[in-house]
Amino acid sequence: MTNFVQTAEARNTSVELMQAILKVANGHEEIAEFIWEMGASDAELDQIIEIVTQSGRFKTTDFHWGVSRTEWANP
């Protein structure tokens, strides 16, 4: 597990969502950090949703992103 993903609990963010953000950032923790802090672009958000929901098998509301809680997929 990367340092970025290990901070999930402190950030009140689902581990699966942290992993998806890191994947969209191509494994670059600095970019993942930027996405988490500043929000994802529309294209990044689409990719994160696809990854974390496993192509619709799970609901976005099953995952939390910081203070946005379950509303993260509805900017």
Read off the pLDDT of each residue in 39-67 and give the average, rounded to a whole number: 95
Domain span at 26: 3-71
Q: Which of 4, 10, 7 is nearest to 30 (CA)?
A: 4
State the pLDDT at residue 49. 97
Number of folded domains that form the chain: 1
Does position 40 have pLDDT exceeding 90, yes or no?
yes
State the pLDDT at residue 75. 59
* 3 state DSSP class of 10: coil
pLDDT tier for residue 74 given thresholds of 50, 70 and 90? confident
Read off the pLDDT of each residue in 25-50 and give the average, rounded to a whole number: 97
